[in-house]
Amino acid sequence: MAVQVRVTAVFQKFTKGAKTVKGQGQTIGQLVQDLERRYPGFAKQLLNPDGSLHQFVNIYLNDEDIRFLGNLDTPVSEGDVVSILPALSGGAAPLG
């Protein structure tokens, strides 16, 4: 089943500049592995060496954070949209 995957500029260096690619799989984890096969080095940017999702990467399935669904075991269906974003952090130091 084809799933639309949206990637930000940080990850587009692996997708040859494409902002959106198609992926295959029954779960987010399988989808990431499919993207790794087609775009070598992609999964290393998302996953820790133990295969878990890196804490500074957010993956959304139809605008819902997969950490609150089933993480990498979250099922995907034909027509779903997956967005992969680097986590944003920072901000100003406390005043006073």
**Which pLDDT score is estimated for 88?**
63
Neighbours of 91 (CB within 10 A): 6
What DSSP element (H or E) covers 85? strand 81-86
Note the pTM of the prediction, 2 decimals: 0.85
**pLDDT band at residue 1, thresholds of 50, 70 and 90?**
low
- Residue 37 belongs to what domain range? 2-86
The answer to whether residue 92 sits within a structural domain is no
**pLDDT band at residue 10, thresholds of 50, 70 and 90?**
confident
pLDDT above 90 (res 11): no
What DSSP element (H or E) covers 75? none
**Which pLDDT score is estimated for 96?**
53
The answer to whether residue 93 sits within a structural domain is no
The answer to whether residue 14 sits within a structural domain is yes
The answer to whether residue 76 sits within a structural domain is yes
Name the 3-class secondary structure at 38: helix
What are the residues whose beta carbons fall under 8 Å from the beta carbon of 71, sequence distance 6 or more?
A: 28, 52, 53
pLDDT (tens digit per residue) in 41-88: 989 889 999 999 988 899 999 999 999 999 999 999 999 999 998 876
What DSSP element (H or E) covers 50? none
**Domain total in the chain:** 1
